[in-house]
């Protein structure tokens, strides 16, 4: 799906509005490649598709704002998402830790744990879903080792940014949620489009379909006239 298909953009925005972030990620992945059953694909494969979609829709430069956790200053930095796309997993083979093999977690695995309140119990249940050679109770140390091996095999599944404050030099790490970021950008774009429709419909009495059918440059010129 392209951003130029305005009716589809608005429909996708509405489908995702009340949905869980996991569902939104799957809606976006389906917009990228509808033929794939994304719920059952590894998270890194899903997010590689979302990165490609993000670059198609908005380009590879990603500007982010964060507050320094030490001094509170607002920081802006720009990432080149092409760097992350290169971390897409090259294969989806099971990960071996000791004598046991584990498949890589999928959106469906995370969805099964969405209502878990106990972190340890959720981690155990996740490994039970992923274990290919039998289930047992894993110690906290074993779980950490298995999770590290899974992360290493699928680096896009958990992207962490190493940041340093330009004001106080404080270093810290922050997760980058590719799916949530893309949804926020997409939703903001769709909401701006609705604002445009609202403005032009009020000014000229045109229908939504008539406004969406305008070439973008001409729509923008009418908006400028209404606002001037
Ligand atoms: Zn700082």
Q: What string of DSSP letters covers 143-158?
A: HHHHHHHHHHH-TTTT
CA 79 to centroid of ligand 1, rounded, Å: 19
CA 71 to centroid of ligand 1, rounded, Å: 4
- pLDDT band at 91, cuts 50/70/90? confident
What SS3 state is found at 2? coil
CA 168 to centroid of ligand 1, rounded, Å: 4
CA 174 to centroid of ligand 1, rounded, Å: 14
| DSSP letter (8 states) at residue 175 | E
CA 110 to centroid of ligand 1, rounded, Å: 34
Give the range among 40-44, 80-84, 87-91 with minimum mean pLDDT.
87-91
Contact yes or no for 98/118 (Cβ under 8 A): no
| DSSP letter (8 states) at residue 36 | S
| pLDDT, position 71 | 96
| pLDDT, position 198 | 97
Beta bridge partners of residue 63, listed in sequence order? 78
Residue 74 CA: distances (Å) to CA of 64, 79, 163, 173: 10, 16, 13, 16
CA 172 to centroid of ligand 1, rounded, Å: 10
CA 129 to centroid of ligand 1, rounded, Å: 41
- pLDDT band at 102, cuts 50/70/90? very high
**pLDDT at residue 50 greater than cutoff 90:** yes
- The Cβ-side half-sphere exposure at 18, using a 13 Å CA radius, reads 0
CA 160 to centroid of ligand 1, rounded, Å: 18
In sequence order, which residues have a C-beta less than 8 Å from that of residue 87 and are 6 or more positions away?
44, 155, 156, 159
| pLDDT, position 166 | 94
CA 67 to centroid of ligand 1, rounded, Å: 8
Beta bridge partners of residue 162, listed in sequence order? 173
CA 176 to centroid of ligand 1, rounded, Å: 19
**pLDDT at residue 83 greater than cutoff 90:** no
| pLDDT, position 107 | 96
CA 28 to centroid of ligand 1, rounded, Å: 34
Say if residue 155 is exposed, middle or buried (CB neighbours under 10 Å; 0-12, 13-18, 19+): middle
In sequence order, which residues have a C-beta less than 8 Å from that of residue 184 and are 6 or more positions away?
none
* Mean pLDDT of all residues in 88-113: 92
CA 42 to centroid of ligand 1, rounded, Å: 36
**pLDDT at residue 60 greater than cutoff 90:** yes
**pLDDT at residue 168 greater than cutoff 90:** yes
CA 78 to centroid of ligand 1, rounded, Å: 17
Q: Which residue would you say has higher pLDDT here, 57 or 157?
A: 57
Contact yes or no for 146/127 (Cβ under 8 A): yes
């Amino acid at each position: 799906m392209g951003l130029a298909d305005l009716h589809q953009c608005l429909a996708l925005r509405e489908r995702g509005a009340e949905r869980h972030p996991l569902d939104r990620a799957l809606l976006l992945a389906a917009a990228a490649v509808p033929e794939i059953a994304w719920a059952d694909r590894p998270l890194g494969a899903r997010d590689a598709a979302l990165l490609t979609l993000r670059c198609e829709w908005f380009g590879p430069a990603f500007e982010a704002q964060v507050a320094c956790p030490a001094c509170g200053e607002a920081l802006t930095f720009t990432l080149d998402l092409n760097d992350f796309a290169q971390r897409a997993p090259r294969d989806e083979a099971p990960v071996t830790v000791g004598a046991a093999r584990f498949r890589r977690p999928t959106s469906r695995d995370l969805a099964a744990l969405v209502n878990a309140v106990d972190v340890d119990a959720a981690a155990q249940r996740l490994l039970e879903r992923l274990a290919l050679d039998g289930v047992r109770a894993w110690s906290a140390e074993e779980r950490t080792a298995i999770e590290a091996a899974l992360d290493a095999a699928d680096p896009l599944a958990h992207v962490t940014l190493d940041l340093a404050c330009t004001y106080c030099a404080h270093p810290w790490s922050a997760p980058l949620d590719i799916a949530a970021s893309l949804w926020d950008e997409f939703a903001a774009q769709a909401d701006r489009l609705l604002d445009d429709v609202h403005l032009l419909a009020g000014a000229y009495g045109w229908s939504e379909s008539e406004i969406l059918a305008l070439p973008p440059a001409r729509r923008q010129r009418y908006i400028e006239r209404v606002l001037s």
